[in-house]
Amino acid sequence: MRYKKIKHNQPQSWGRYPKIQHSQIQTIYWQNELPDLSTYEQPILPYAYGRSYGDSCLNENGISLDLTHLQRFISFDQETGLLRCEAGVSLAEILDIMVPRGWFLPVTPGTKFVSVGGAIANDIHGKNHHRSGTFGCHVTCFELLRSNGQRLTCSPDQNSELFRATIGGLGLTGIILWAEFRLKPIINPYIDMDHIRFSSLDEFFEISAASDQDFEYTMSWVDLFIGGQNLCRGIFMRGNHNQSQALASKPIKKRLPLALPFNLPTFALNTITVKAFNELYYHAQRRKRVHKTVPYDPFFYPLDSIHNWYRMYGKRGFLQYQFVIPFDHAREAMSEILGRIRHAGEGSFLTVLKKFGDIPSPGMLSFPRPGLTLALDFAYSGQKTLQLLNELDKIIIQTGGALYPAKDARMSAQSFQTFYPQWKQFAQHIDPHFSSSFWRRVTSGSAESQPLPGFGVSPQILSPP
Ligand SMILES: Cc1cc2nc3c(=O)[nH]c(=O)nc-3n(C[C@H](O)[C@H](O)[C@H](O)COP(=O)(O)OP(=O)(O)OC[C@H]3O[C@@H](n4cnc5c(N)ncnc54)[C@H](O)[C@@H]3O)c2cc1C
């Protein structure tokens, strides 16, 4: 089964904010029919399934290269678990083919509708960060097409700096044509899962500490609206791959995803509805701990069961805000952050809390680092939302933490450069013909952000080279 991205005339990001126009959308179908990238007169950016939330996958007035048709499997080594495939192959396709053969992704985000190229370009993390690090930790090599026509094999030993720059490199170093990475063996497609209710941030830390050793996957849904000393409450979710041979042949019922037929009106999401949702969700689990064995899909990808859930946030779209803060500042900073959000009257249905471990990411610009990471969604209500998030940035800066570029659509150049002081070193590896809306914003005022002559000018439709 082929997974198509949601069709739209213009490439969009998952948050539907910002809404921008590209001058041209060029589709690449074959590795032996690659365009001469040096002939493009406007900056280029690869685009895959648009599951990035903000503008890191967008290129206003520039050229968006659709790479989702590079979707061929190249080789698999049953002994080592090494899979080589084109960069437009989605994680969903890999799971469909490899799970029945007893293999699983080394790291997966909260949606399976992302491409291998996108997983590398954002050096994505999953529920097993504390045990397995980021996706990039499992990549052995890839081929990168640069605008000068060079096709470079990059690995930790070959073109190693470009390898490190491309992992987490936001699509700016060239086009990843194919990649090779290591899958991990599983016995069956089921997960042994616990859901544990916790009533404070301190309790979250306790359960987390008790789970890190024995559970491969951990994350929590949290309710931030309880106030007081407890700071938050939630459901801690942890799991391991089930080890029973008997379940290997038990078929999994596939459920078709639901779809939201229209954008919900903006007033549908407010602190009252969020509080009501949180109350229901928290109390839906009556017992302190629930144990179940479930297929991998609902455990890893509950949000994929609603095809276009971004519509819940209305026409204006939404902003996701994901930060990481070092553990030693976590309690204090969380108290401040949650207080600001409550005071602003902004609500987030989907709030996810997790501890990152200390496995270093290979990417020069990778986001994960040891600490507590929280991801929140805010319906976009103009200046009010932007002001709140600017205030939160200041707190993150004070803690020495960082924001995740894959989720961002508004952080200032100053904030980005504080979060990622290595950005200048990274910028030396950017392909001179590549750029993005995100990169221009977060490096505005710097020499590194200057477009090539003729770049960033008024939009025009170019004919394919
Ligand atoms: C519901 C949901 C849950 C999510 N959960 C997580 C999570 O748990 N952890 C996490 O880390 N992220 C998470 N994300 C974010 C998502 O995993 C990343 O944004 C991912 O990179 C999106 O991949 P994509 O294929 O859609 O790429 P796009 O969003 O289209 O592009 C992402 C980046 O990859 C670049 N790119 C794409 N293809 C190539 C290529 N062939 N060569 C070079 N560059 C390329 C683009 O230029 C862009 O910079 C989530 C997103 C959603 C919608």
CA 263 to ligand 1 center in whole angstroms: 23
Q: pTM above the 0.85 mark?
A: yes
Q: Which pLDDT band, with edges at 50, 70 and 90, does 453 fall under?
A: very low
Which atom of ligand 1 approaches the CA of 67 most closely? 41
320-330: average pLDDT: 95
What does the mean pLDDT of the chain come to? 90
pLDDT (tens digit per residue) in 357-371: 999 999 999 999 999
- Model confidence at 452: pLDDT above 60: no
Which atom of ligand 1 approaches the CA of 121 most closely? 34
266-276: average pLDDT: 72
The burial class, CB within 10 Å (0-12 / 13-18 / 19+), for 78 is exposed
Tell the residue nearest (CA) to atom 32 of ligand 1.
Answer: 118
Distance from C-alpha of 121 to C-alpha of 139, rounded to nearest angstrom? 12
**Rounded to 5 degrees, what are φ and ψ at 274?**
-65, -45
447-465: average pLDDT: 38
Distance from C-alpha of 110 to C-alpha of 393, rounded to nearest angstrom? 24
287-309: average pLDDT: 91
To test ligand 1's pocket by mutation, which of 66, 111, 374 has the most ligand atoms within 8 angstroms of CB? 111
- Model confidence at 17: pLDDT above 70: yes
Distance from C-alpha of 40 to C-alpha of 38, rounded to nearest angstrom? 6
Task: Give the residue, 454 or 165, on which the prediction is more confident.
Answer: 165
Pairing verdict, β 217-223 and 289-295: unpaired
Q: What pLDDT does 121 receive?
A: 99
Q: What pLDDT does 446 receive?
A: 64
Tell the residue nearest (CA) to atom 21 of ligand 1.
Answer: 118
Q: What pLDDT does 271 receive?
A: 74
- Maximal CA-CA distance, the chain: 63
- Model confidence at 9: pLDDT above 50: yes
> Measuring CA to CA, which residue among 182, 266, 217, 225 is closest to residue 109?
217
Q: What pLDDT does 449 receive?
A: 52
How does DSSP classify residue 462? P
- Cβ neighbours, 10 Å, residue 337: 22
CA 49 to ligand 1 center in whole angstroms: 7
Which atom of ligand 1 approaches the CA of 45 most closely? 47
Percentage of residues of the chain with pLDDT beyond 90: 76
Distance from C-alpha of 352 to C-alpha of 111, rounded to nearest angstrom? 14
Q: What pLDDT does 124 receive?
A: 98
pLDDT (tens digit per residue) in 376-404: 999 899 999 999 999 999 999 999 999 99
Pairing verdict, β 352-356 and 371-379: antiparallel
- Model confidence at 457: pLDDT above 80: no
Instruction: Give kind and range of the element (H or E) at residue 97.
Output: helix 91-98
Distance from C-alpha of 46 to C-alpha of 117, rounded to nearest angstrom? 9
SS3 376: strand
CB 218 within 8 A of CB 237: yes
107-136: average pLDDT: 98
Ligand 1 pocket, residues with Cβ under 6 angstroms: 14, 45-52, 56-57, 67, 87, 109-111, 114-115, 117-119, 121-122, 124-126, 170-171, 175-176, 303, 406
Tell the residue nearest (CA) to atom 10 of ligand 1.
Answer: 124
Please state whether the peptide bond connecting residue 465 to the residue before it is cis, i.e. omega within 30 degrees of 0: no
How does DSSP classify residue 1? -
The burial class, CB within 10 Å (0-12 / 13-18 / 19+), for 435 is buried
Q: What pLDDT does 261 receive?
A: 67
Strand partners, 322: 375
- Model confidence at 437: pLDDT above 60: yes
Distance, CA of 356 to chain centre: 14
> Measuring CA to CA, which residue among 298, 331, 311, 353 is closest to residue 127?
353
Give the C-alpha distances (Å, rounded to integers) separating 72 from 29, 77, 85, 366. Answer: 10, 16, 6, 27
> Measuring CA to CA, which residue among 184, 164, 63, 179 is closest to residue 118?
179
Q: Which pLDDT band, with edges at 50, 70 and 90, does 130 fall under?
A: very high
pLDDT (tens digit per residue) in 72-81: 999 999 999 9
Contact residues for 213 (Cβ-Cβ < 8 A; gap 6+): none
pLDDT (tens digit per residue) in 244-258: 999 998 888 777 776
Distance, CA of 377 to chain centre: 13
Distance from C-alpha of 107 to C-alpha of 303, rounded to nearest angstrom? 17
- Model confidence at 5: pLDDT above 60: no
pLDDT (tens digit per residue) in 200-210: 999 999 999 99
Sign of CA dihedral 425, 325, 356, 124: negative
Q: What pLDDT does 448 receive?
A: 55
Tell the residue nearest (CA) to atom 4 of ligand 1.
Answer: 110
Q: What pLDDT does 228 receive?
A: 84
Provide, for the chain, the percentages of residues in helix, strand and coil under a 3-state DSSP scheme, each rounded to the nearest 5. Answer: 30, 25, 45
- Model confidence at 2: pLDDT above 70: no
Q: Which pLDDT band, with edges at 50, 70 and 90, does 281 fall under?
A: confident
Distance from C-alpha of 137 to C-alpha of 363, rounded to nearest angstrom? 9
Q: Which pLDDT band, with edges at 50, 70 and 90, does 460 fall under?
A: very low
Contact residues for 417 (Cβ-Cβ < 8 A; gap 6+): 423, 442, 443
